[in-house]
Structure 1
């Protein structure tokens, strides 16, 4: 059971309320259509129900509001617009990534692909799908966690009749198993044909709440659609002939040289046009929509709308059963003493239930990481070969393939690019969000991204060093010595540089919501931060930190082994390097900015 009570959108200056005091219910085992013309507030009503917009009112899903449901994905499946996903990701990888986000087994993806008829397209890219196939993928994503209720916004808009029939067949099957289905539409004939229950709204207010049979009887009736260049003349003739024969015929002029004739037939209209020599470009029987009040839209007086709207809304409000008293939050009393509906606080989007598995599927579901790694290794080997030819480049710079003209070596730049994509792609293709443009700032998701990007950075660093060494031995043979004696220290500093660049790109993209901004944060370390630090410490030093490990040993309560002194000295030696210090400072600033923006976003929610 789905119950929406008192939904009211936030008032905006110089604009009427998109939704005002809207109450209705959608029962289990039934398909409910929320019907209204474009701009009537259907989408806003759905977003208020899902707590995606601020306003007033409350919606109960089987007796609980959405913010009190532990696993919303298992209660409500959502399809708002197109499926957000990377166009280069395959259909199967898209669903497996969403399975990890919802906490369901990956095998569920293949089951749903067969259910929605996409089993043969599992290896196709999301960006290559047609509109009908994309809508099937969206329905599969909504059904991943086997939810009880389905909320869909215009699911059949633009679909072919065959896809429309299939989609409603699947919705009917979900309702037959006891589920609740609510979808929005502007097509009254489709609502009467496919829905069990029709809720009609106009200008954000409830107009009618009817079963499908009653809706079809009171709102739909046959008509003759006529298209002719002489609409005014034909309308006058039809009206005069109907009056002469005392028949009830209504002629409504519409746009595009078109007439809608109620109470007549194609034969009668055609005979009248033939007798008077009027050309006919179209003549067909249709089912006409009489508008929310039972009158044609062009002939619906405003006074009728005002008179019929309030009684219908009152009648429906009384039919909605009240939720349990313990679940109703206390509302504020209005000036006339009545209780106002409680405020709707915009709900933050949930992060993935299994963030590490989600991040691995997100990263390796496209070809970008493989292409980036291949380009990094090739460029690094070429630069190492060019630097080794002169014989004057030190071995550390030779293995890193880091010429002085580049701000960073290829492996560090590649790690920074992949780190920037980790959050940049989330904002470009927000697969986790019910609404576009929002990425959950959960610490679990951040930790998973940091861990995966660090692993990829270390892999790039080690592989690039090995590839450079192999290239140098292949080209120059014995003229190139092996790894230097302090290779362990160099390996740690090399891995730290690549991991730091990956994290800088990741945090920069997370703060500024852009892959380009993440890359700019990576390049700002050697281009901006290093010169600033060098200028700050360029003056002579009066004191030195030599002997710091010994002084720390004297202050410590626990005696640590003397071997730890060597590691501490190595760490201090590494930390005092300009690039390492600049990278550590940049990471600290970016992490603080990320946390502050996350806290500010939660306060706003």
Structure 2
């Protein structure tokens, strides 16, 4: 059950809101169409329901708002706009990544590709797909976790009319299992053909909420579509016979060879054409909106149907087009063995609630657990070329910079290996780590069921922890690779001249690792707060450019109380006594934090973490 109550978008300057106090319901076991002309507010209404648009109102999915659902992707399947994925990622990689986020087996991706009919495109890049193929990928993503609810924005966009039968059957099959389906369309005939209930809106306001049969009876007009090379002659014949029989018949010439006849039947038009020797190429019953023609009788284009399409357009015919059995009910495969008998009910899909809604328990085996966010993040990172390209650029720039510094001389060995001249705010490896961290967020905000600020707080914290962990690992790998390549380049060009065996390497290593991880985490948190990779990278650059000078001013001058012996005192406070050799690591970390760059990074991370907690973890109830 979907209950939208009082949806109202943020008012625009000198213009009314796109959606104004819109309330309706979409019942389980039924397909509901949200009908309206382009620009009437259909997409905005869906975005308000998914909490992606600022405004007022609330939407309940089986009695809970979206931000209160532990695993939104298992409750709501969404198709909104284009496919939210990296253009270089393959179709299969995209779906397998979403499988990891939804907690379902990776094999589900191949199953859904078969269902939507694009199994042969599994290795195609997302950026190379046509609009129709993109919609199929979006439908597969929406159905991955067998959600109880489907919210689809123009699902038939880009799909040829002759291929829409499988889509209509897919929606009817999902509803027949007890799921609720809500889709938007601007085609009244499609709404009548597919939906059980039609919600009509205009200028963001509710116009009517009717059963499909009642909508067809009150809002659509039956007509006879005729195609003939002698359209003008047939129109004259039909007009003369109607006047002679004193019948009200309206004839509209829609093109040079096409007529629309209102107030007559196929039999009457066919008999009139036969009696007068008029050749007819097509003769079919159609149903169209009541406002297709005005009082002037000017030609108005109407949607065409193939010969024999009247059966599909008739409002009384509620049967779905004939499609294979495996596509008629993709949301619950027949193989119920995927769920073990002893499995507990999956989070987000409790069996009692499913029984109350009339929907049988899901047959998709859940594979959730503590590694689910980490598995998702690893798939997200490994399925694009961004980390590899970033590492290649960083290593090349770092090696060239290190060679230039070695040739100039007077550069400490630590800065030489890090390729960090005094004039640059950060070394190339730190900038690369910050860039990879800034790219961590982005796609989730375009896919509502995966968004980092959706679901319960444990789920959001789990996703953040996974991103921070993977970001730290990538930063350390990038830093180690950059140092190794710099050392190899220096030895190759200058032999062992610039390099000496360091007397103390622990403290520089800890400092280097802390700088890389701090830059990566700053990028992750800033991109999560501002929802922009550019803002994430800007936050990384702001640390040495803006925060470090302020820290230097605050720390300038001698300290009244020295902090010598802090490591030993910390060892005495710890629950488990660490060995004295570990004091070197503690001292190294303290030296890093005592430096201006380290202090600035710590302060920046604390501020960003508080900002992320306020923006991403706070309650999102809107009224």
1:126 is aligned to 126
> Are 2:447 and 1:431 aligned?
yes
For 1:413 and 1:572, the matched residues in 2 are separated by 23
1:269-306 deviation per Cα after TM superposition (whole angstroms, max 9, x unaligned): 999xx99xxxxxx9975655454xx6767469xxxxxx
1:210 is aligned to 212
Unaligned runs of 5+ in 1: 276-281, 301-325, 328-350
For 1:65 and 1:582, the matched residues in 2 are separated by 40
For 2:576 and 2:180, the matched residues in 1 are separated by 64
Give the Å deviation of 1:409: 1.4
2:495 is aligned to 477
1:9 is aligned to 7
Contact 2:199/2:210, CA 8 A, preserved across alignment: yes
For 2:64 and 2:621, the matched residues in 1 are separated by 23
1:366 is aligned to 384
> Are 2:434 and 1:416 aligned?
yes
- What TM-score does the superposition give when structure 1 sets the normalisation length? 0.74
Equivalences for residues 148-163 of structure 1 within 5 A: 148-163=148-163
1:221 is aligned to 222
For 1:18 and 1:296, the matched residues in 2 are separated by 25
Contact 2:228/2:281, CA 8 A, preserved across alignment: yes
Give the Å deviation of 1:509: 1.8
Count of matched residue positions in the alignment of Structure 1 and Structure 2: 538
For 2:385 and 2:37, the matched residues in 1 are separated by 43
Contact 1:101/1:432, CA 8 A, preserved across alignment: no
For 1:411 and 1:131, the matched residues in 2 are separated by 39
> Are 2:538 and 1:520 aligned?
yes
1:164 is aligned to 164
Unaligned runs of 5+ in 2: 297-351, 354-368
1:95-138 deviation per Cα after TM superposition (whole angstroms, max 9, x unaligned): 11111111111121122122222222112111111111111101
> Are 2:613 and 1:595 aligned?
yes
The farther-off stretch of 361-370 and 545-554 is 545-554
For 2:176 and 2:375, the matched residues in 1 are separated by 34
- Change in Cα spacing, 1:187 to 1:216, as seen in structure 2 (3 Å) is farther
For 2:492 and 2:539, the matched residues in 1 are separated by 36
- Change in Cα spacing, 1:598 to 1:239, as seen in structure 2 (3 Å) is same
Equivalences for residues 40-55 of structure 1 within 5 A: 42-43=42-43, 46=46
The farther-off stretch of 215-224 and 535-544 is 215-224
Aligned partner of residue 164 in structure 2, secondary structure: helix
Which residue of 399, 403, 407 maps to 1:385? 403
Equivalences for residues 233-252 of structure 1 within 5 A: 242-251=242-251
- Change in Cα spacing, 1:57 to 1:251, as seen in structure 2 (3 Å) is farther
For 1:189 and 1:557, the matched residues in 2 are separated by 72
1:378-433 deviation per Cα after TM superposition (whole angstroms, max 9, x unaligned): 22222222222345332211211222232211111111111111125555xx2354
For 1:557 and 1:262, the matched residues in 2 are separated by 88
Contact 1:91/1:125, CA 8 A, preserved across alignment: yes
- Change in Cα spacing, 1:286 to 1:59, as seen in structure 2 (3 Å) is farther
Give the Å deviation of 1:82: 2.5
1:465 is aligned to 483
Contact 1:77/1:150, CA 8 A, preserved across alignment: yes
1:354 is aligned to 372
The farther-off stretch of 535-544 and 402-411 is 535-544
Equivalences for residues 454-603 of structure 1 within 5 A: 454-549=472-567, 561-599=579-617, 602=620
- Change in Cα spacing, 1:513 to 1:257, as seen in structure 2 (3 Å) is farther
For 1:547 and 1:68, the matched residues in 2 are separated by 49
Give the Å deviation of 1:366: 0.9
Contact 1:40/1:201, CA 8 A, preserved across alignment: no
Contact 1:22/1:205, CA 8 A, preserved across alignment: no
Contact 2:514/2:592, CA 8 A, preserved across alignment: no
1:101 is aligned to 101
Contact 1:7/1:48, CA 8 A, preserved across alignment: no
Give the Å deviation of 1:530: 2.2
Contact 2:78/2:449, CA 8 A, preserved across alignment: no
- Change in Cα spacing, 1:475 to 1:362, as seen in structure 2 (3 Å) is same
Question: How big is the alpha-carbon RMSD for the aligned residues of Structure 1 and Structure 2?
Answer: 4.5
- Change in Cα spacing, 1:103 to 1:555, as seen in structure 2 (3 Å) is closer
1:434-480 deviation per Cα after TM superposition (whole angstroms, max 9, x unaligned): 89x97778211111111111000111111111111122222222434
- Change in Cα spacing, 1:40 to 1:397, as seen in structure 2 (3 Å) is closer
Equivalences for residues 62-141 of structure 1 within 5 A: 71-141=71-141
2:312 is aligned to none
- What TM-score does the superposition give when structure 2 sets the normalisation length? 0.72
1:349-404 deviation per Cα after TM superposition (whole angstroms, max 9, x unaligned): xx999211111111121101001111111222222222223453322112112222
Give the Å deviation of 1:78: 2.4
